[in-house]
Amino acid sequence: MAKGINALIDMLADKADLLVCAPDGPRSGYACAFSATEPLTLNLIRREEHLQIWSCSGTPIDSVKLALDQFCKDRVPDMVIGGINHGDNASVNTHYSGTMGVTMEGCMKYIPSVAFSICDYSHSPDFEPLRPYVRFIVDKVLAEGLPRGVCLNVNFPLGTFKGVKICRMAHGTWYNECVKERHPRGYDYFWMVGAYRNDEPLAEDTDNWALTHGYVAITPTRIDVTAYQAMRELENWDFDFVNGSV
Amino acid sequence: MAKGINALIDMLADKADLLVCAPDGPRSGYACAFSATEPLTLNLIRREEHLQIWSCSGTPIDSVKLALDQFCKDRVPDMVIGGINHGDNASVNTHYSGTMGVTMEGCMKYIPSVAFSICDYSHSPDFEPLRPYVRFIVDKVLAEGLPRGVCLNVNFPLGTFKGVKICRMAHGTWYNECVKERHPRGYDYFWMVGAYRNDEPLAEDTDNWALTHGYVAITPTRIDVTAYQAMRELENWDFDFVNGSV
C-alpha cells in the first residue's frame, strides 16, 4: 500500500475508526475520473477493531464512492481524507490530482474533506514532520467542520516548515508536456511529462509562493466552480438574435 | 468518430480552420484525467485544406495537450471546444465530465474555451436545433474572448428551447452509485451507476433548473477553485499550537 496512506493511518489511528479504501496501485493524474464503463472489484487487505483496509481496482474517486456506498450505509464518515500524495497538488494541479479528486468527492457528498500532499516526488518521503500539522488539521475539522461545499487542499513544502499560510490557488501553466519517441516497430508515441511555470511568481498570497518559500500551504477549495463575476457580462449577450439569424 | 464531434465540424466548418483531436472511443467520466504513465499514440484520420482530424489513444485532456504541443507550435488556436457530449454536464457533473476537462484544459492554457452538451443520452441525438446557438456562441467568443480563467459550460435541454439562461452551478448529489453483481466465478464486482438529485430544486438561477424547464443553460466556469470566503475563517486557526503540542 502507498506509503502516504500508511503514514496517515499511523498519524490518525488513535483519533478515530479508520476505513481505508484506495486504488490497488498508483493513479497519478486521475483527477475526478470514475469508471463509467468498467466493472470494479474490492479486496479486503486487513480488518482490525478500529481499522479496515480495502483495495479497489478503480480510480481514486471510485474508491471513495464504493466505500461510502458499501461500508457506510449506517454511518456517514466524519471526514474524507486524500493522500498523503507524493508530489504537490497546488495551483492547476488541483484539477489533475486524484488526491484532490477524492477530497472533492467527499465534499460533494457534504462530508468535511481534506487532501494532504508533499512537494517530494521521491519513493520514500519523510512524512514524520507532517504529523503535528495533519493531527492539528484533522482535530480542527472534526471539531468545527468546514463550510458547505468547501474542502481543504493542504500542501507541504520540502525542508523545514517556516509556518502555515492560508492561500489562494496560483495561476500557473504546464508547458512542453509531450515528448515524442520512436517505437522499434516504426511508429511515433508520446509520453506526457512537462514543466510547470508559476505565472504570478511575485504574488505572496498563493499556494505556489508559500511552498517555494518554505510554508505549509492550505488552500480552501470549492465545489461550486461558477464564475459569478462573469455571469453579468454574459447576460448582455443578445440571444434574441439566435432564432434563424446566424 | 463521435456524432457530436461530426455535428460540431458541420456547424463550424465555414467559420474557421478546424483541428480535431479526440479520444479513439468513448471516455465517459474521465474528468481532467491525463495519462501520467501510459505511452500515447496519435493517428491521422483525415486531412483537408481547412480540416484535420486526429484520433488519440488517451484521455480527452491528453488529446488537447497533444494537439496543442504537436500541431500548434506556430499558432495558438483561437478557441478550444469540447463536445457535443451526449448527456448533461451540469451541476457536479462538471467535475466528472471529460467534455468539461477538455474545456478546462484550454482555459488553463489561456485559450477561450467552451463545452457543449445535450441532455440526451441516446445514441443519435438530434443536434440540428443546437446549430444557431453553437454558431452564435462561437462567434461571440471569437469576437470578444472570455475573461481570463473563465470558460463556458453550455448545456442544451431536451425538447424545444424556450430561450437561454446564464446560470450558476446547482448543488446536487449522486446517490445509489454502486450496483453489486456476482461473477460466474464466485466473486463480487460492481458497476458505477447512480441517480442524481438536485439539492436545490426551487433555485431558478441554476443550470439544473434551466435545463428541466426547457432553457439552454450557460454556466461561466472558473479555473480558480479557491474558496475565498473561507480563507478569512481559516486564518483564525492558531497554528502556533502545532509545534510539539498535538
**Residue B68 Cα to chain centre, angstroms:** 18
Chain B closest-CA separation from residue A202 CA (Å): 17
| Total-model pTM | 0.95
Average per-residue pLDDT in chain B? 95
The interface residues of chain B toward chain A in range 152-211, judged by CB-CB distance below 8 A, are 152, 163-164, 166-169, 171, 173-174, 176-178, 180-181, 187-192
CB contact under 8 A, B31 and A101: yes
Chain B closest-CA separation from residue A49 CA (Å): 24
In percent, the amount of chain A with pLDDT more than 90 equals 91
State the maximum Cα–Cα separation within chain B, in Å, rounded to a whole number: 68
Look up the ipTM and state it: 0.94
Q: Is A34 touching B (CB cutoff 8 A)? A: yes
CATH domain B3-169+202-227 topology? Stationary-phase Survival Protein Sure Homolog; Chain: A, (3.40.1210)
Closest partner residue to B242 (CB to CB) among A104, A132, A230 is A132
Report pLDDT for A122.
Answer: 86
Q: Is B108 touching A (CB cutoff 8 A)? A: yes
pLDDT, mean of residues A27-38: 95
pLDDT, mean of residues B199-218: 97
Question: B228 or A2: whose pLDDT is higher?
Answer: B228
- Which chain A residues are closer than 8 Å to B243 by Cβ? 132
- Which chain B residues are closer than 8 Å to A36 by Cβ? 28-29, 192
Looking at residue A128, the DSSP 8-state letter turns out to be: G
Q: Nearest to residue B104, comparing CAs of B89, B119, B118?
A: B89
Q: Nearest to residue A175, comparing CAs of A235, A92, A112?
A: A92
Tell me the angle at which helices A60-71 and A98-108 cross, rounded to the nearest 10 degrees.
Answer: 30
pLDDT, mean of residues B14-22: 97
CB contact under 8 A, B37 and A28: yes
Report pLDDT for B116.
Answer: 98
A78-99 confidence digits (pLDDT tens)? 999 999 999 999 999 999 999 9
- Name the CATH code of domain A3-169+203-234 (choices 3.40.1210.10, 3.30.465.10, 3.40.50.300, 3.40.50.280): 3.40.1210.10
The interface residues of chain B toward chain A in range 135-154, judged by CB-CB distance below 8 A, are 135-136, 139-140, 146-147, 149-150, 152
B73-85 confidence digits (pLDDT tens)? 999 999 999 999 9
What ranges do the domains of chain A cover?
3-169+203-234
